């Protein structure tokens, strides 16, 4: 006992997969195959001993993702009101709008604890409809400081890490999630490794599972299928990130990588391609996967 379980609730980029209105080959295939559909990136966190759960990032698909979390919680005999809080990485469309379901038109929660950075709180309390959730007492925003541990229970600690990412409405966080036995680093969005290399190396040394931004496989795919430049939506490509893992990096740190946050253009969404490039310590996250910490 005392375990923490992570349940993967979504693995797509903010727009989901298939992406609305897209006729790219990946999306066309997914439209006709329910099993290959993916929700925007989100993570359920279950504190087994205390029978409480948390969601990292509330996407526009929160109703479906909450159902998945509920089913997992039932397996561990959690009570019906197990959802104790939400943690939000940043204010882009795949990561926070699901908060609206906690309002009076739907769940009507009572002071649900929402953990955010200071800048994200400012965004939420100064813009509708998020402000209304606070004013009506549906949510209560708790500010975290980067690098300062949030102690959710004796078994579960979360450390927010500041991430370089397009700061349109808020800054961006990633989270180190620590159970009693193992830990995971959840980083769905980053612009580039350049400013983050040292911090990443430091975290990797102490973390078992690295769940990382795998938005694009290569720089060419966005232009090929959408006529858009990757410079407009900066992310390190999987190809770039692979380079970090050369020379035994993961073995030395005893950590495993799982890519997530896949854009609809990403060729790793096709099983044959994914299998071709998979490496021993590098994986591509599946919907529904469980991690034990
Ligand atoms: Zn995103
Ligand atoms: Zn598409």
- 2 alpha carbon – ligand 1 mean position (Å): 31
- Spans of all domains in the chain: 4-290
- Residue 2: the pLDDT is 61
162-179 as b/e: b if 16+ CB within 10 A: ebbbeeeebbbbbbbbbb
> 9: CA distance to ligand 2 center in Å?
20
List of the chain residues with pLDDT < 70: 1-2, 225-231
Burial category of 157 from C-beta neighbours within 10 Å (exposed 0-12, middle 13-18, buried 19 and up): middle
Q: What is the pLDDT of residue 243?
A: 87
Quick: pLDDT tens for 124-169: 999 999 999 999 999 999 999 999 999 999 999 999 999 987 778 8
- CA–centroid distance, 162 to ligand 1, in Å, is 15
Question: Measured in angstroms, how far is the CA atom of residue 173 from the centroid of ligand 1?
Answer: 11
Per-residue confidence (pLDDT) for residue 250, from 0 to 100: 83
pLDDT at 231: 67
CATH architecture of 4-290: 4-Layer Sandwich (3.60)
Q: How far is the CA of 244 from the centre of ligand 2 (A)?
A: 28
In contact, 238 and 282? CB cutoff 8 Å:
no
Element (H, E) at 140: strand 139-143
Q: What confidence score (pLDDT) does residue 222 get?
A: 73
Contact of 55 with 45, CB cutoff 8 Å: yes
- Residue 27: nearest ligand to its CA? 2
Cα separation, 65 vs 44, whole angstroms: 9
pLDDT of residue 136: 98
Q: Closest-lying ligand to the alpha carbon of 168?
A: 1
Direct distance between the N- and C-terminal alpha carbons of the chain, in angstroms, rounded to an integer: 11
User: What separation in Å is there between the alpha carbon of 274 and the centre of ligand 1?
Assistant: 21
Q: 27 phi and psi, to 5 degrees?
A: -65, -40
pLDDT of residue 225: 64
Predicted TM-score (pTM) above 0.85: yes
- Alpha carbon distance 81, 70 (integer Å): 9
DSSP string, 74-108: HHTT--TT-EEEEE---SSTTTSGGGGGGSTTTT-
CA of 60 to the centre of ligand 2 (A): 18
């Amino acid at each position: 006992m005392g375990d923490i379980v992570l349940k993967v609730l979504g693995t797509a980029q903010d727009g989901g997969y298939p992406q609305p209105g897209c006729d790219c080959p990946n999306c066309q295939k997914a439209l006709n195959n329910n099993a290959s559909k993916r929700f925007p990136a989100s993570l359920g966190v279950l504190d087994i001993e205390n029978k409480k759960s948390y969601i990292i990032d509330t996407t526009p698909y929160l109703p479906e993702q909450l159902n998945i979390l509920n089913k997992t919680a039932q397996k561990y005999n959690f009570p019906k009101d197990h959802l104790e809080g939400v943690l939000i990485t940043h204010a882009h469309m795949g990561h926070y709008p699901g908060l609206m379901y906690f309002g009076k038109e739907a769940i009507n929660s009572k002071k649900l604890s929402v953990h955010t950075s200071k800048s994200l709180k400012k965004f939420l309390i100064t813009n509708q409809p998020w402000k209304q959730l606070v004013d009506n007492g549906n949510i209560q925003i708790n500010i975290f400081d980067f690098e300062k541990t949030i102690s959710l229970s004796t078994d579960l600690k979360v450390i927010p890490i500041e991430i370089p990412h397009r700061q349109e409405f808020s800054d961006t966080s990633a989270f180190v999630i620590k159970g009693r036995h193992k830990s995971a680093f959840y980083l769905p969005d980053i612009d580039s490794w350049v400013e983050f290399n040292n911090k990443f190396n430091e975290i990797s040394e102490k973390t078992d599972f690295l769940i990382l931004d795998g938005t694009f496989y290569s720089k060419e795919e966005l232009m090929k299928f959408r006529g858009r430049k990757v410079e407009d939506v900066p992310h390190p490509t999987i190809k770039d990130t692979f380079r970090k893992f050369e020379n035994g990096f993961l073995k030395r740190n005893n950590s495993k990588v799982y890519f997530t946050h896949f854009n609809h253009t990403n060729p790793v969404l096709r099983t044959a391609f994914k299998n071709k490039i998979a490496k021993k310590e590098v994986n591509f996250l599946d919907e529904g996967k469980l991690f034990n910490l």
